Amino acid sequence: MNAATPLAGRVAVVTGASSGIGEASAELLAALGARVVVVARRVERLDDLVVRIGEAGGQASALAADVTDAAAARAAAERVAAELGGADLLLNNAGVMLPAPIEELTADQWQRQIDLNITGLMNVIGAFVPQLVEAAGTRGVADLINTSSIAAQNIFPNFAVYSATKAYVTHLSRHLRAELGAKNVRVSAIEPGIVGTELQSHVTDEGARAWLEGSKETMEWLTPQDVAQTVGFIASLPPRANLQQVTIMPTGQPS
């Protein structure tokens, strides 16, 4: 294994790749030698990302898909299998954060978070886990990395539904590790604190927006590149080593 490109020969699928953590992780995984497939709904952004990765010397291709559509997720997996022989690294990263007091009864926002953060996650797992298991049997290792949140562990008023979806991600990841680890598929959950991404721009509740803006005065937020470095480290470990759960926090964020 080349120390500069420890992921050479691997095929990495990244969902939610049109911005933020997914975008930064795709760029880093490509720099580490992986052939990256970027998946999201916004085709133009994916195409721009593929060009940037290519200009930096990496390899990438784009697949436009809405992961809340199970058929679309399966079709994406079929293309990866047909064109690249299957994935051996999956960063399951697509998600949305829409905090609001529960008494506001924003049922449409509750459902949107459940649809993307839970159902979308499961659609992608269902589509790609068979490829991961097959790849692990051949090369001795494959990786399923799920993006969770510190909200899965800690209590944040007005973030109840979002936090519950992320608790699902973390607990699911631990169970999948128990199932898949014996088959050489490493499963990891990354739980970042506040990261400066598009997620904040989606927030409509004024109280939550004010809290997020106020936090900038007391701490320096993480960048997507900080989380991407964590993804790259997890995937570059020797096959015998699996980081089950990683919490990465802004130094100034207390909880």
Q: For residue 136, is pLDDT > 70?
A: yes
Q: How many residues are there in the chain?
A: 255
CA distances from 25 to 28, 30, 38, 125, 225 (A): 5, 8, 10, 18, 7
Question: In this structure, what are the phi and psi dihedrals at residue 190, rounded to the nearest 5 degrees?
Answer: -105, 130
Q: Active-site positions?
A: 162
% of the chain beyond a pLDDT of 90: 89
Query: Which residue type does 79 have?
Result: R
The pLDDT value recorded for residue 40 is 96
Task: Retrieve residue 227's tokens.
Answer: 């989380």
In this prediction, residues 14-32 reach a mean pLDDT of 97
Q: How many CA atoms lie within 13 A of 110 on its CB side?
A: 11
Q: Which residue has the higher pLDDT, 213 or 177?
A: 177
In this prediction, residues 203-228 reach a mean pLDDT of 90
Q: What is the pTM of this model?
A: 0.95
Burial-class residue 241 by CB neighbours within 10 Å (0-12, 13-18, 19+): exposed
The pLDDT value recorded for residue 213 is 86
**Residue 1 pLDDT class (50, 70, 90 cuts):** low
73-103 pLDDT, tens digit each = 999 999 999 999 999 999 999 999 999 999 9
Mean pLDDT score across all residues of the chain: 96
The pLDDT value recorded for residue 244 is 97
> How many beta carbons lie within 10 A of that of residue 160, not counting itself?
16
The pLDDT value recorded for residue 201 is 80
C-alpha 209/C-alpha 200 separation (Å) is 8
5-15 pLDDT, tens digit each = 999 999 999 99
The pLDDT value recorded for residue 211 is 85
Q: For residue 109, is pLDDT > 90?
A: yes
C-alpha 25/C-alpha 102 separation (Å) is 33
